[in-house]
Amino acid sequence: MKSITRIAAALALTFGLTLSAIAAQAASISGEVKKIDESAGKVTLKHGPAKSLGMDEPMTMVYRVKDPAMLKQVKVGDKVTFEAEEAASGYTVTKIEKAK
């Protein structure tokens, strides 16, 4: 009986981690850096659909960045994946990294 409980717990944990990974992928948006404005803490990104933000069409947008240090990780022309959230002041990039 203990082994069945352990197996069930292991399966539940695995299932939960898999769902978390799927959710993280759904939140990631693929794009390209078009412009960086370090003084304003903004980046212009050309990207595909951003389902996590309710955007079904590709577009180019200016985003604020949560941490201006993120702008040092990328340069114009880089292919990136990023995550963003909608706030009262507009859309804000919370995470950005060069695409692999």
* Residue span of the structural domain in which 77 resides: 29-98
Instruction: Judge whether residue 25 has pLDDT over 50.
Output: no
Establish if 21 belongs to a structural domain.
no
CATH number of the domain that 86 lies in? 2.40.50.320
Instruction: Judge whether residue 28 has pLDDT over 60.
Output: yes
Instruction: Judge whether residue 11 has pLDDT over 60.
Output: no
Establish if 19 belongs to a structural domain.
no
Establish if 51 belongs to a structural domain.
yes
Establish if 8 belongs to a structural domain.
no
Check residue 9 and give its pLDDT: 57
Cβ 52 vs Cβ 29: under 8 Å: yes
| 20/78: higher pLDDT | 78
Can you tell me the distance from the alpha carbon of 25 to that of 42, in angstroms, rounded to the nearest whole number? 24
Total count of domains within the chain:
1
pLDDT band at 58 (very low <50, low <70, confident <90, very high): very high
